[in-house]
A and B are shown apart, each in its own frame.
Chain A
Amino acid sequence: MANPDSSLRLSAESLALIDVEVAKYPPDQKQSAVMGALRIAQTEKGWLKPDLIEYVADYLGMPAIAAYEVATFYNMYDTQSVGRHKITLCTNLPCTLMGAGELAEHLKNKLGIGFGETTEDGRFTLKEGECMGACGDAPMCLHNNHKMHTHLTPEKVDELLDKLK
């Protein structure tokens, strides 16, 4: 525990997953695995602290600045802390035509926060998303980047929020 870096170090499982990513690309192109590696790191640690991004860059043998550029360019990486449950609601036009606007109001009222904010207890972060390529199942949201919930209604949103502790 005395090691100041122990909070940064990724679990053996995460490192094994990163190695799977690295193996997809030519041996001299390890940087190609940075998107997957940052995703895996974020999934384990919740969000990408600067030190964590550096750790990932080191692991892949690439300059830290190049990994920062990636982490800040793509919307699904969180370079600020987020709640335990990040809810990203798609509000692009097709979803809005199918009721995403009303759901946004419902979520904001229910959680008492706006888009881009986190509840005081650190339980929820609410984000506005762009088209998720699933407009036929609108309206929809994404939970912690990876689980999609479709055909939402205010009742279904309430049920979902209740389940996420």
Chain B
Amino acid sequence: MSLLKPTPQVCSWTQALDHSASLATYVANGGYQALRRVVTEQVSGDAIIAELKTSALRGRGGAGFPTGLKWSFMPRAFPGDKYIVCNSDEGEPGTFKDRDILRHNPHQLIEGMAIAGYVLGARVGYNYIHGEIFEIYDIFERALKEAREAGYLGDNLFGTDFCFQLHAHHGYGAYICGEETALLESIEGKKGQPRFKPPFPASFGLYGKPTTINNTETLASVPWIVQHGGQAFLELGKPNNGGPKLFSVSGHVNKPGNYEVPLGTPFAELLELAGGVRNGHKLKAVIPGGSSAPVLPAEVMMDCTMDFDCIAKAGSMLGSGAVIVMDETVCMVRALERLSYFYFEESCGQCTPCREGTGWMYRVIHRIEHGQGRPEDMELLNSVAGRIGGHTICALGDAAAMPVQSFLKHFGREFEYHIEQKRCMV
């Protein structure tokens, strides 16, 4: 496989190749041609943004925001410093796709960021890499060095006056830095506390300058789109959901891993690719888009296709494409207890509803799990969750509330049983 033809694999095609991360492998297969073309032929930024809009590429970091539209918000003609920032702070439980892009295809991300720099008028970019994957950070640093030495990063690229420099910033253990404005604070060398919006990063971003932030997979898709056109990308997926997407399948499947399949692929097919439910067990529930997405029962999930619109209609979110599979042996109270602990632990503490509410919810679920639940606890949980969602500076508050509300909605019977019988139903 290569970038020379419009392969159905946009981000993962290097994985099967020897020395997947090397510049030589990437260039031998058509890498950096898109960047060279736009820079040397001085393709207009408007034309590239139009291709992105046609492609229906939607942000792969969680919110699914249309990338072409996001890029059009940047004051591209603004004469001062501007930045392009990549969000590789993959910490949403269940998500491990960006790690594979950095590990096996770092140059496609570098090329995507350089094209973004060209279009958005940014001369410097940063890639913020999740703290716990230091070895991957090293791989990416090596790729940056190769790209600089080969003249794909630096001053006067391809003999033109276009200059673009890219650096890696290594996180050190804070889920909240995945939130884009917390990430900017963190690059500035501060605590990762989200900023109040507006102003949005496109006007006041890194160091107060106009900044565009995109997820790793989003930016790595850009060279493919520039090479083969927005229409070809759109056709790989379905209307309003362009392209394929990397799905990280974890939990109770026989073959956990990343699978890049067209948006709109039936969930049942994805499950089969991942080897089916382990040991022939029965599927119980799936969290389709990372731990912050509402859980869905097996019956609902088996009727879904994997795209932003279908999963939203089913009452959840495609999010980051992290599919957490749970079989019949899972106690839903125990599962929710662990997730609630996570949000409690990772709340940055700025907003009272989130700081206090996440701890409160965790303590109530903990006592239900440990046989000390009270009859009124389910109502209490719903009420606390309802008061966090929508009342905070960033979406971590909603992310903490949604699992609680959805677990109670779909698996309330198990919580009642725990409260009444003081033990597990499964």
Contact = CB atoms under 8 A, between A and B. Distances in A.
Interface of A: 24-26, 29, 31-36, 38-39, 62, 66, 69-70, 73-77, 91-94, 96-98, 129-138, 142, 145-148
A33 B249 CA distance: 35
A93 B338 contact: yes
A34 B169 CA distance: 11
Nearest to A24: B167
B291 interface: yes
A94 B95 CA distance: 10
B170 interface: yes
Interface residues of B, number: 54
A35 B249 contact: no
Name, among A24, A77, A136, the residue most crowded by chain B CB atoms within 10 Å (CB to CB): A136
B165 to A, nearest CB: 9
A133 B95 contact: yes
Given A91-B338, A131-B93, A136-B257, A35 B189 contact: yes
B189 A62 contact: yes
Contacts of B169: 24, 32, 35-36
Interface in B102-141: 126, 130-135
B172 A39 contact: yes
Contact of A131 (B135, B175, B186, B192): B175
A97 B191 CA distance: 32
Interface stretch (B304-312, B339-347, B370-378): B339-347
B296 to A, nearest CB: 15
B256 A129 contact: no
A133 B133 contact: yes
Name, among A31, A32, A142, the residue most crowded by chain B CB atoms within 10 Å (CB to CB): A32
A26 to B, nearest CB: 7
B135 A146 contact: yes
A69 B172 contact: no
B174 interface: yes
